[in-house]
Structure 1
Amino acid sequence: MKIKGIITAMVTPFDENQEINSKATKQLINKLISSGVDGIFILGTNGEFHMLSEDEKVAFAKIVIDEVDKRVPVYVGTGGNSTCEVIALSKKMEAIGADALSVITPYFLVPTQEEVIIHYKSVAESVKIPIILYNIPKNTGMNLEVSTVAELAKVKNINGIKDSSGKLENIKNYIEATKDQDFCVLSGSDSLILKSLQLGATGAIAATSNLLTELDVSIYKNFLTGDMDTAEKAQKDLEVLRTTLKLGTVPSILKKSVELSGIPVGPARLPVTEPNPEVVEKIKEMLNYYGISCNSNQ
């Protein structure tokens, strides 16, 4: 499976009772696909995987998989701290039709590189579908070392890594170490999409594409056609949103931005709270910058 292009790290829509909002989920999916994304990535950091129960994760994934209906691949986050629980959830996601799984490194108690190799190999053996490693050291407390990724890339169904370290050196080294394997390196840092592609990454798993879908897609498409000036301009243009996202706890600002743009994805789950009125005004200014009309009912 060639993992490539702009894959949206989709938010999980909730209603006013903080329950999964099926209608808004379908609305967002269809907006993303019609805007040209190459895949949907659910239950990641911006998808609040850490806030959902296992039953909720399976129910949400089923809604997404059914609505996408094979139009693009669906990548499902099944990572956690317990290898046993990750295997159980991974099997369930495979059974309901996930195209691939994303597995974050265990967190809270930081495993050694040897332990994380055992963890990933055990998960990979339990399913037949592709697995993407997910490296996000600032959230998990550990960085997947190059030698670890090189070792895991030898496993038949470990086919890629999403690197959200924010370090180009990581991306570069992962690409170099796995060049002889059937393995894809993807940027998980939206500020580095173009630079990662230029180094040999095959795409990006981008949260900003929940809102600025066409802009993210244009970075990739213009890169493919060799129009680096246009790709660079699109990359730089993401910064206004990225600066605004820093005004609150993930994913509160992104969800409010999408909501104000017209898709009622609801708030983040508590303890993450809604942005205050001053921040909402800054979000509206950001939307105005991009020419996105603000839904005043939200």
Structure 2
Amino acid sequence: MNKNRKAPTGISGFPVAPFNHQNELDQEALKKNIEFLLDEGLESIFIACGSGEFHNLSKKEYETMVEIAVTIVNGQVPVYTGVGGNLSEALEKAKISEQKKADGYLILPPYLIEGEQEGLYEYYKTIVRSTDLNAILYQRNNAVLKADTLEGLLNYEQVVGLKDGHGNMELNIELTQRFGNRLGWINGMPMAEVTMPAYKPLGFNCYSSAISNYIPHISRMFFDALQSGDQDTVNMLYEDAILPINNIRRKRKGYAVSLIKAGMEIVGFPVENTVRPPVVPVTSEHYQELKFVLTKVLDKYPSKTGIISVK
């Protein structure tokens, strides 16, 4: 059992769920995705979460993804899984995560229903208490905890972090001021690099990086520039990479997932532009737009390893 009650810091990698054209999980492609993130120095791996199309995995696929991640990582960095949705399924996935020896899990929102705070409290509490694994609570959509509700959940030592994908900065200020170092604070907004300069002063020292799946050196440059106060580099990366990619991401619903796979395919990873409904693949027009952006980015900021290039 993991007794290190600390949330990850730095840049968190969120591998995709690679599907082939037979709609089957491509295990070899997943292994290469995880190995690449480790080689690039990401500080944690979150498997079978939003980017991993958590909502569309069978139990067997989920077990396979978690087992592959834990085996490949082999204790180098923390491995967190995604649990959530239907409460019964969330508890089942939490148990699988424990059996496969993950370090913890990210608790995604319950299915569809917008519950009262007491209902959200019971939902999170039930999952947190079901194992001894670390738990990170995810603020977004129909699961946004108020300060008093969060305080009740902090009675459980398993709760080590809060990931915000909601973007209510007034609430974020209230929570970070009230609970401070009791929790690790993770920016989980779509393309978190866009908002990280606003989150960092509040105590958020970690973020989930979608672009780390295909241009992790850009995410690292950005993170390091923020940490050191190098505003010129931050501005440059905003102009050349982050905002152009984010503008494409915003063009269609579901691109928070499928655009990652498109980027990976463009730089030569064995991940096809294949997703499961209701997410849709990136259109050929937007694919070419992303390829154009990545070509310019990699010309100006080549990877030191030399293995990342537009194919």
Say if 2:282 is the partner of 1:275.
Answer: yes
Q: Quote the residue 1:294 is aligned against.
A: 310
Give the drift of 1:247.
3.0
Give the equivalent residue in structure 2 for 1:144. Answer: 145
Partner of 1:47: 52
Q: Does 1:167 align with 2:183?
A: no
Q: Is the 8 A contact 1:81 1:106 kept in 2?
A: yes
Residues 183-262 of structure 1: pairs in structure 2 closer than 5 A? 183-189=183-189, 190=192, 191-234=194-237, 237-248=241-252, 249-250=254-255, 251-262=257-268
**Shift in Å at residue 50 of structure 1?**
0.5
SS at match of 1:134: strand
- CA offset at residue 230 of structure 1? 3.1
Using the size of structure 2 for normalisation, the TM-score is 0.86
Listed one character per residue, the Cα deviations across residues 190-246 of structure 1 (whole Å, up to 9, x for unaligned) are: 121232122211211222222231122223333334444434544554111111112
Deviation at 1:57, TM superposition (A): 0.7
TM-superposition CA deviations, 1:98-128 (whole Å, max 9, x none): 1110001213122211011111111111111
Match of 1:24 in 2: 29
SS at match of 2:144: coil
Find the residue that maps to 1:102 and give its secondary structure. strand
Hey, what's the Cα distance between the residues in 2 that align with 1:164 and 1:42?
17
Aligned length: 290
Tell me the residue number matched to 1:38: 43
Change (3 A) 1:210 1:28: same
SS in 2 for 1:64: helix
Q: Distance in 1 between matches of 2:14 and 2:170?
A: 22
Q: 1:260-287: per-residue Cα shift (whole Å, max 9, x none)?
A: 1111222111343322322222121121
**1:78 match: secondary structure:** strand
Change (3 A) 1:162 1:232: farther
SS in 2 for 1:179: helix
Q: Distance in 1 between matches of 2:207 and 2:238?
A: 12
Matched residues in 2 for 1:172 and 1:95: separation?
36
1:13-162 matched pairs, under 5 angstroms: 13-82=18-87, 84-137=88-141, 141-162=142-163
CA contact (8 A) 1:13 1:20 kept: yes
Check conservation: 2:7, 2:161, Cα contact below 8 A.
no
- Aligned partner of 2:271 in structure 1 is 265
**Conserved? CA contact 1:164–1:187, under 8 Å:** yes
Structure 1: gaps (5+ residues): none
Amino acid across the alignment from 1:143: V
Q: Aligned-pair RMSD on alpha carbons?
A: 2.0
CA distance in 2 between partners of 1:54 and 1:173 (Å)? 38
Q: Report the CA distance between 1:79 and its aligned residue.
A: 1.1
SS of residue paired to 1:15: coil
CA contact (8 A) 1:26 1:67 kept: yes
Cα distance in 2, alignment partners of residues 217 and 125 from structure 1: 35
Quick one: which amino acid aligns to residue 284 of structure 1?
K
Give the TM-score normalised by the residue count of structure 1. 0.90
Contact 2:7 2:136 survives alignment (8 Å): no
**Displacement after TM superposition at 1:72 (Å):** 1.3
CA distance in 1, matches of 2:108, 2:294: 31
CA drift of 1:167 comes to 3.2
